[in-house]
Chain A
Amino acid sequence: MTTNGRFPSPFEVPTPEGCEGWKDLYPYYYVFSEDRKEFEDKRFWFQDSMHHPEPLYPFDTITCESWWVALGQNNTRVFIVPPALGIDQRVLNGYLYITALPVANPDDIPARVGHFMERAGYYFQNWDRLYAQWVKKAEDTIAELKAIKVPDLPEMEDLETVVRAGRGITSAYDLVVAYNRAIENMYKIWQLHFEFLNLGYAAYLTFYGFCKNAFPDISDQTVAKLVSGIDVILFRPDEELKRLSQAAVDLGVAGVFKKTIQPDEVIAEMGKSDAGKKWLDELEKSKDPWFYFSTGTGFYHLHRSWIDDLTVPCLAIRGYIEKIEKGETLSRPTAEIRKERDRLAAEYTALMPTDEDKKAFQEQLGLARTVFPYVENHNFYVEHWHHTVFWNKMREFGKVLVKHGFFKEVDDMFYLHRFEVQEALYDLIGAWGSGGEARGPRYWPAIIEKRKALFEKLKAYAPPPALGEPPEVVTEPFTIMLWGITTDSIKRWLQPQGTGDSKQLTGFAGSPGLAEGPARVITSVEELKDVQPGEILVCPITTPSWAPVFPRIKATVTDIGGMMSHAAIVCREYGLPAVVGTGFGTKNIKTGQKLRVDGSSGTVTVLS
């Protein structure tokens, strides 16, 4: 696949067998083309397996297309990041490839520094106020999305509200407006997502670099420990599960979870007693917003949340009840965590070589701590809370189209690009308004069937990790900051796979410690319930909503992830060893194999 230290050109990667026509799934601007060959062939592209490990469903490109604009504009048009523009995107064989765009002329950089100091400086200085404002904006955006009503098209418009009120406007217009508002809302939340993110990461990574310079051996997790927030929203859903577990014990209904952890059965059982009903009231209190918590990254419509499916919460509550009954305490020792954080900071300060360094360390630590709540929390607002609402809102449009015969099932909609959905809606309202016949029901089902078959093939295909000629040294700050791509990781990709010691995998040292135990390979959230106490979780990527499984396991190995990955953060929290970003963990390891996970060196050894 690779020759002479370079990856294939995007123009020489063959279409996998049976995948001809894959370009029809995506807009014209989103694929490599002869028109832009000169530009595209010169660049180094890498597959964004961190956020988009699966092929892109046509509709789901809305998430990447949204961040394409949002990430870039803040560097390019808002804060004028001195050396970097945005991140460009293309799809190849269904997979998302990205490339960082540098400032073309180095002579422009000094002037950009001045703008950046003024603009970013303002944000850093007013961070707390602007962040409080951000939280309000994010919550308002989610509320706006929730408030969008998706109307069906009635046989006859309502007499009161349309005729007698002289409205002059019908459900056809409302349907299109609702769709447009929902799409705009997605663009908006992603604009907000990147309002602070690049600055937050830049401050954090600067502090990280300073620490590494002073203490070459300091681990990523120790830097994170120095900075990380105590009241992190990302842990709140798990805290709610602990609260519900305690409530079940206190109300005397914990026994329900011994009989069953099937969500429907749990709810039916609880409904049979007054105490159980009280518990259900408590459950409702936790749900909004804390169960708007995706079991995936939130980037794909397939990623369902706790609010859609209570399997993960029920599993977790059973585990927590067992702990409560054993007399264990569930609450996070926040006072101790805070004390330990302060001790680390004081001791590292003391080891700094000069007073000047001590001062610089303290200042940068201060800035890193200021920005970190956003870095840790934005994810809950956007990818979890907002996207859960968004995907479900889109399903409401899917239902309307199913009802009118356009699709066989609601989720068929996601095989259409959002522009195609808009076309379908116009087809529908045209037919509805005119009383004629829509073409959609004869047009889309066959296309969707074809795309579904194509998609299965794209899923089975292993995309090249990168395209084009890699830079000798990765210096582009956002490639490193947001994707964890370094000179070393590119070197690893260039090594032929399947040779060498297949019993040993390497990745990032995500969370320190050494553990041995049987592997449990999990590729979807449904399999989480199979995890047995004492096993080592091996998965493509973990997300914060998997937290309930962490008290059961001994260590974690992921295919994808870097220093800021959720698996690493959560494992540090639970004191579990983690090796993240191994690349091939789920492919090379089988459930039941005995593993040794060294989270300090980033190695996984298959023992038997």
Chain B
Amino acid sequence: MDAEPYILWLDDCDRTSVPLVGGKCASLGDMIKANINVPPGFAVTTAAYRDFLAEAGIGQEIQKILAEVRPDDVEAAEKASLTIRQLMGSAPIPAKIEDSIYRAYKELCGECGVADLPVAVRSSATAEDLPNASFAGQQDTTLWVRTAGSVLIRTAICWSSLFTPRAISYRLAMGFPHDKVLISVGVQKMANARVAGVMFTLNPSNGDRSTIAIDASWGLGESVVSGMVTPDNFLVNRITKDVIKRVASPKLIEYIPDPEGQKAVVMDVPPERQNALCMTDEEVQAVAILGECLDVYYRNPQDIEWALDRDLPFPRNIVALQCRPETVWSRKPRESIAKQKSGPLDFVVANLLAGVRTGLNHSRED
């Protein structure tokens, strides 16, 4: 039989792939299918994790160690975690799995035209969609990982993150069997942002839902998110895609990836770029379309981090990085504008009388 693959490209994932790629990667796949660009990448599947345990012959032993931990025994959980993670760390990764990861990483480097492409390596657990489950490994993310060897090491660390003391205790508390949770690992290009920022799929200053408001600055999004620059501001009509407002601001610094190390560094923006708008209308419109797709996908106004990746061609380079529901306007009850008028003529009369002092809308003053 054809074995389950060790690698699944994000483009090929969707909600049916959760058992194989975990919740996070599956949802990235769903987003791609909804025309939402995310940085390109792949999932190292749960099959790889399972075969790693099987070939190393440590699965049974792990279960045995865990069986001895009682709920609420924090100390025992910590001890078990240490033992298990040492066990996993010293077990060899089968050559077939290693080859698959190497090949996938090289292919991703090729696609982006960057040797030793910096990637983010994240865990993507299969139990993430449990109600109220902030499950093990969900938080395990390493940024700026470069070279195939490093990707492999971070993948193994992600696997072992299933057995942090917190994850062990949590499963025990929830009564969820340890051997039913599998883990996949997502490997995704780090956005090499020429421009990045945040956007709301409504106008945060007046709640207009036909508007998409975009803040943008040079380089990685940290400068905007941290408030270290006053970003350029754009308003786009969500329906016509007209750019209805552009405000250029002085953008004095930018974060760019450090070519040597594995982090971002702050640089001064050269004077000629400081006051120039950091995006063309075409780019602004593409960012707005990304926002609209996310708003439709989640059926609610969204607060989105996005980037314009210099390694990818337009419009593939407009990518969503983070997304959460907008909270300020979305929580307000939406009041009716029509307010019980019976037909268009009522509106005409009301409009003619707007602002006019009449016996209808004011009591008489003496």
Taking Cβ atoms with an 8 Å cutoff, the residues of A that contact B are: 81-84, 102, 106-107, 109-110, 113, 116-117, 120-121, 124, 202-203, 205-206, 209-210, 213-219, 222, 225, 343-344, 347-348, 351-354, 356-357, 359-360, 363-364, 366-367, 473, 475-477, 512-514, 598, 600-601
Please list 26 pairs of residues, one from A and one from B, whose beta carbons are closer than 8 Å in the complex, sorted by A's number.
A83-B352, A83-B353, A102-B356, A106-B359, A109-B358, A110-B358, A113-B349, A113-B360, A120-B345, A121-B345, A124-B345, A202-B352, A203-B348, A210-B337, A215-B208, A219-B244, A222-B242, A353-B334, A357-B338, A475-B354, A475-B356, A477-B352, A512-B243, A512-B244, A514-B243, A600-B244
A113-B360, A217-B235 given as contacts; is B337 within 8 A of A360 (CB)? yes
Cβ contacts under 8 Å, B360 to chain A: 109-110, 113
Given known contacts A206-B344, A475-B355, what 6 new A-B pairs fall within 8 Å (CB)? A83-B353, A106-B359, A202-B352, A205-B351, A216-B203, A477-B354
In this assembly, does B249 line the interface, its C-beta being within 8 Å of a C-beta of chain A? no
User: How would you classify the secondary structure of chain A's contact residues: helix, strand, loop or mixed?
Assistant: helix
Cβ contacts under 8 Å, A343 to chain B: 239
Pick the contact of B359: A109, A124, A367, A476 (CB < 8 A).
A109
Contact between A364 and B242, CB atoms less than 8 A apart: no
How distant is B280 from chain A, measured CB to nearest CB, in Å? 10
Contact residues of B between 336 and 366, Cβ < 8 Å to A: 336-338, 340-341, 343-345, 347-360, 362, 364
In this assembly, does B209 line the interface, its C-beta being within 8 Å of a C-beta of chain A? yes
Cβ contacts under 8 Å, B239 to chain A: 222, 343-344, 347-348, 351
In this assembly, does B237 line the interface, its C-beta being within 8 Å of a C-beta of chain A? yes
The answer for the CA separation of A407 and B79 in the assembled complex, in Å, is 115
Cβ contacts under 8 Å, B245 to chain A: 600-601
The answer for the CA separation of A473 and B260 in the assembled complex, in Å, is 63
How distant is B312 from chain A, measured CB to nearest CB, in Å? 26
The answer for the CA separation of A352 and B337 in the assembled complex, in Å, is 9
Encode contact with A along B240-260: 1 for CB under 8 Å, 0 otherwise.
101111100000000000000
In this assembly, does B272 line the interface, its C-beta being within 8 Å of a C-beta of chain A? no
Pick the contact of A202: B210, B334, B340, B351 (CB < 8 A).
B351
List the count of A-B residue pairs having beta carbons below 8 Å apart.
144
A106-B359, A356-B336 given as contacts; is B208 within 8 A of A216 (CB)? yes
A216-B206, A347-B239, A360-B341 given as contacts; is B358 within 8 A of A106 (CB)? yes
The answer for the CA separation of A455 and B240 in the assembled complex, in Å, is 48
Beta-carbon nearest neighbor of A222 in chain B = B240
Contact between B211 and A217, CB atoms less than 8 A apart: yes
In this assembly, does B73 line the interface, its C-beta being within 8 Å of a C-beta of chain A? no
The residue in B209, B239, B353, B359 that gathers the most chain A C-beta atoms within 10 A of its C-beta is B239
Pick the contact of A82: B208, B243, B244, B349 (CB < 8 A).
B349
Contact between B344 and A83, CB atoms less than 8 A apart: no
The answer for the CA separation of A477 and B354 in the assembled complex, in Å, is 8
The 9 closest A-B pairs by CB, nearest first: A475-B355, A353-B334, A360-B338, A206-B351, A109-B358, A83-B356, A367-B344, A215-B210, A217-B211
Cβ contacts under 8 Å, B243 to chain A: 512, 514, 600
The answer for the CA separation of A120 and B348 in the assembled complex, in Å, is 10
How distant is A196 from chain B, measured CB to nearest CB, in Å? 14
Pick the contact of B354: A209, A351, A352, A364 (CB < 8 A).
A209
Pick the contact of B351: A113, A215, A347, A477 (CB < 8 A).
A477
How distant is A514 from chain B, measured CB to nearest CB, in Å? 7
Contact between A106 and B362, CB atoms less than 8 A apart: yes
Pick the contact of A217: B206, B352, B364 (CB < 8 A).
B206
Cβ contacts under 8 Å, B338 to chain A: 354, 356-357, 359-360
A82-B352, A216-B206, A354-B334 given as contacts; is B347 within 8 A of A360 (CB)? yes
Beta-carbon nearest neighbor of B203 in chain A = A217
How distant is B209 from chain A, measured CB to nearest CB, in Å? 5
Contact between B359 and A353, CB atoms less than 8 A apart: no
The residue in B238, B345, B357, B360 that gathers the most chain A C-beta atoms within 10 A of its C-beta is B345
Pick the contact of A206: B340, B347, B359 (CB < 8 A).
B347
A110-B359, A215-B208 given as contacts; is B352 within 8 A of A81 (CB)? yes
Cβ contacts under 8 Å, A359 to chain B: 338
The residue in B238, B336, B348, B352 that gathers the most chain A C-beta atoms within 10 A of its C-beta is B352
The answer for the CA separation of A81 and B349 in the assembled complex, in Å, is 9
Contact between B344 and A366, CB atoms less than 8 A apart: yes
Cβ contacts under 8 Å, B326 to chain A: none
In this assembly, does B311 line the interface, its C-beta being within 8 Å of a C-beta of chain A? no
Contact between B336 and A353, CB atoms less than 8 A apart: yes
The answer for the CA separation of A219 and B356 in the assembled complex, in Å, is 25
Encode contact with A along B319-342: 1 for CB under 8 Å, 0 otherwise.
000000000000000111110110
The answer for the CA separation of A491 and B347 in the assembled complex, in Å, is 29
The answer for the CA separation of A225 and B341 in the assembled complex, in Å, is 25
Contact between A109 and B334, CB atoms less than 8 A apart: no
Contact between A213 and B208, CB atoms less than 8 A apart: no
In this assembly, does B222 line the interface, its C-beta being within 8 Å of a C-beta of chain A? no
Pick the contact of A344: B209, B240, B341 (CB < 8 A).
B240
Cβ contacts under 8 Å, A217 to chain B: 203, 206, 208, 210-211, 235, 237, 244
Beta-carbon nearest neighbor of A208 in chain B = B351
Cβ contacts under 8 Å, B357 to chain A: 106
A218-B237, A351-B209, A357-B337 given as contacts; is B358 within 8 A of A82 (CB)? yes
Cβ contacts under 8 Å, A476 to chain B: 356
The answer for the CA separation of A476 and B356 in the assembled complex, in Å, is 7
Beta-carbon nearest neighbor of A509 in chain B = B244
Cβ contacts under 8 Å, B281 to chain A: 514
Cβ contacts under 8 Å, B242 to chain A: 219, 222, 512-513, 600
Contact between B364 and A214, CB atoms less than 8 A apart: no
Cβ contacts under 8 Å, A213 to chain B: 337
Cβ contacts under 8 Å, B353 to chain A: 82-83, 109, 113
The answer for the CA separation of A213 and B338 in the assembled complex, in Å, is 10
A356-B336, A359-B338, A600-B244 given as contacts; is B348 within 8 A of A206 (CB)? yes
Beta-carbon nearest neighbor of B239 in chain A = A347
Beta-carbon nearest neighbor of B346 in chain A = A117
Pick the contact of A364: B334, B344, B349 (CB < 8 A).
B344
Contact residues of B between 120 and 159, Cβ < 8 Å to A: none
The answer for the CA separation of A343 and B240 in the assembled complex, in Å, is 10
Contact between A203 and B344, CB atoms less than 8 A apart: yes
Cβ contacts under 8 Å, B208 to chain A: 215-218
The answer for the CA separation of A81 and B242 in the assembled complex, in Å, is 37
